[in-house]
Structure 1
Amino acid sequence: MEKSRKAFADFVDNAIATANSMRPDELMFSYKGILYPASICSPETFKALESFEARSDDVILAGYLKSGTNWLSQILTDLIAISQKKTLGEESSGNAEEEFPYLEVGDPGKYERMINLPSPRFMVTHLRPENLPTSIFKNKAKILLLIRNPKDVATSFYHFSNGLATLPSYETWDAFFTDFVSKKVAWGCYFEYLSEWNKYVDKENIMTITYEELKEDRALGVKNIAAFFGIPLTEEELQLVVERSSFQSMKKNSEKTHGAFGDILFRKGAVSDWKNIFSEDQNEKMDKVFEEHIAGTKLGKKLKYDVYCKA
């Protein structure tokens, strides 16, 4: 684990150094109509990703930026370690030491190197399903789909953008909000992301979980995730995973696990932080966009918008 954590921190440090040498207008590029950060992604990598061959026992976490993927990565990495009878905190991660876990992030050669990784390979992605390799669905790799209420996603995304050099920064929340609802942020429109993934939610190899339900009962969430991936847990193992995945525990260890990136990554981990920043007009605008794109769908209902996104 120490080597994989160091690889993570080194990758982020290099990406930040690269971004710091770029002009603001160079930070993002467009691929198939969606913006991505140029310091960590490239058109060549996306092209190479198309022919990536997934395995049926791959463990895949899918979630939009700032939905809680780092939180779920901690849980899944621990569950994989338990399935391999390894001691938590000392194990190497399921995706091996030398590869950054985000599927679309890195150099084009990473997919050739991943052929040699032992199973189960663990990978994370912010991509929409139509931009993932077809082999993931053909081979029925299991996917944990993580979703979060859109107002908190936007709020967290705004603070994240201003803290991380690889993304454009914003002088005001109003400027960011305008870009967020008009599809001008990295990884594209969150509502379109939800709409596309909604077409896949009934597949037996996909499980959907919300950030909010995991906040409400982490133990139950971990238990359900373990059952979905076929990983038996003792009560003691369950409690250990729950303890290690608390926000306090992850923030405390963030410098070791994520380097300087940790402070930016683990900001609040709260539900309903959007109430501190949204104006009445912005609330109405996002409510309208939600109604147009995702309300009435299975994912829309699962988000409990009326509970978490109404002022």
Structure 2
Amino acid sequence: MCTSETFRALDTFEARSDDIVLASYPKCGSNWILHIVSELIFAVSKKKYTCPEFPVLECGDAEKYQRMKLFPSPRILTTHLHYDKLPQSVFKSKAKILVIFRNPKDTAVSFFHFHNDVPDIPSYASWDEFFRQFMKGQVSWGSYFDFAINWNKYIDDENVKFILYEDLKENLVVGIKQISEFLGFSLTDEQVRTISAGCTFQAMRENSQETHGAIGPFLFRKGEVGDWKNLFNETQSQEMDERFKACLAGTSLGAKLKYEPHCLA
């Protein structure tokens, strides 16, 4: 999915000031946020957002970035890369970056089901096997905690906006309004409520085959907060707690993740 040739070509990618970058570790809600931002663009421009390329910036052939020069603005660029692995043009252009995080326990469980449900990608014999690999960072796109530690350095930058998956689940209207304001879009409260009604996780799941084809139902499986309790045993839960404490306790991102109510309750 991510070849060395593509990564070399990515260094030459030309970002625009009105590009919208959606950064996340896998299974933290990137497809959900992509749909929300697409609907915001439609609300302000009346133009349906389309992207003929695979939406993850680092995935595809090396000629992808030349083709993307022809895409109309604004472009939505999703990525699972660390901040310091993004093309330099993203920072020079001062493109807006939305960073989506989800608590690590639910992220791990969602990632496990994704691997085992989606055809043509590696599966795991058991949850225990996947958990061991996840904690080692030996899964697609590497370690959740390495990703978090890297983004923590920049999470309060002016052009970066942090979005918590669990906050969107709790109050989608407020979350969409915050995203809209960060992107500089001027929407009425009625427009925000309309977008929210069509962007609930349930609505996304019901329309997933239409929007994402056969893979849709796997992208929007449950979307629950606390699903980790169905798979984690006590030892695994404690191991994750200790890793979180060692990596993120006392950091700006660690506080924003609200680990205690979502992962210790």
TM-score relative to the length of structure 1: 0.83
1:68 corresponds to: 29
* CA deviation vs aligned residue, 1:187-224 (integer Å, no higher than 9, x gap): 01001100000111121100001001111110000000
Distance 2:251 2:143 in 1: 17
Q: Which amino acid aligns with 1:41?
A: C
Secondary structure, in 3 states, of the residue corresponding to 1:259?
helix
Q: Distance in 2 between matches of 1:306 and 1:251?
A: 28
Instruction: State the percentage of identical aligned residues.
Output: 51
Alpha-carbon separation, structure 1, partners of 2:140 and 2:66: 26
Name the structure 1 match of 2:84: 130
**Matched residue SS, 2:81:** coil
Give the corresponding residue for 2:261: 307
> What secondary structure, in the 3-state scheme, does the structure 1 residue paired with 2:70 have?
coil
The aligned amino acid for 1:244 is G
CA positional deviation for 1:41: 2.1
1:37 counterpart residue number:
none
Task: Give the alignment partner of residue 256 of structure 1, picking from 207, 210, 213.
Answer: 210
SS in 2 for 1:62: strand
For the pair 1:50 / 2:4, whether they are aligned, the reply is no
> How many Å separate the matches in 1 of 2:120 and 2:147?
21
- 1:172 maps to which residue? 126
Distance 2:120 2:84 in 1: 25
2:77 aligns to what SS in structure 1? strand
Quote the Cα distance in structure 1 between the aligned partners of 2:2 and 2:213. 20
Partner of 2:163: 209
State the SS of the aligned residue for 2:140.
Answer: coil
User: Are 2:248 and 1:287 equivalent residues in the alignment?
Assistant: no
Residue identity matched to 1:239: R
Q: Which runs of 5+ in 1 are unaligned?
A: 1-39
Q: How much is the aligned-residue C-alpha RMSD, in angstroms?
A: 1.1
- State the secondary structure of the residue aligned to 1:232: coil
Equivalent position of 1:181 in the other structure: 135
Amino acid at match of 1:55: R
The 1-side partners of 2:144 and 2:37 are apart by 23
CA apart distance, 1:229:
0.3
Q: Within 5 A, what are the aligned runs for 1:214-225?
A: 214-225=168-179
Residues in 2 aligned to 1:156 and 1:223: alpha-carbon distance in whole angstroms: 27
In structure 1, the residue corresponding to 2:142 is in which secondary structure? Answer: coil
Q: Output the amino acid matched with 2:58.
A: E
Cα distance in 1 between the residues matched to 2:241 and 2:92: 36
Where 1:241 maps in the other structure, the secondary structure is helix
CA drift at 1:98: 1.9
| Distance in 1 (alpha carbons) for counterparts of 2:148 and 2:203 | 30
Greater than 2 Å deviation, 4+ residue runs: none
- State whether structure 2 residue 179 is matched by structure 1 residue 240: no
Partner of 2:109: 155
**Counterpart selection for 2:180 from 221, 226, 243:** 226
Could you tell me which residue of structure 2 aligns to residue 25 of structure 1?
none
Unpaired segments of 5 or more residues in structure 2? Answer: none
1:129 Cα deviation from its structure 2 partner = 1.0
CA 1:150 to 1:97, structure 2 compared with 1: closer, same or farther past 3 Å? closer
Task: Return the letter of the residue paired with 2:7.
Answer: F
1:255 Cα offset (Å): 0.9
> How many correspondences in the alignment?
265
Corresponding residue to 1:144 among 84, 87, 98: 98
SS at match of 1:115: helix
| TM-score, reference length from structure 2 | 0.97
Residue in 1 that maps onto 2:39: 78
Q: What are the Cα deviations for residues 44-82 of structure 1, in whole angstroms up to 9, with x where unaligned?
A: 111110111111110111111000111111100001111
Q: What does the per-residue CA deviation read over 1:152-192, in whole Å, with 9 as the maximum and x for residues that have no partner?
A: 00010000010123432111100000000001000010011
- State the shift of 1:293 in Å: 1.0
C-alpha displacement of 1:289: 0.9
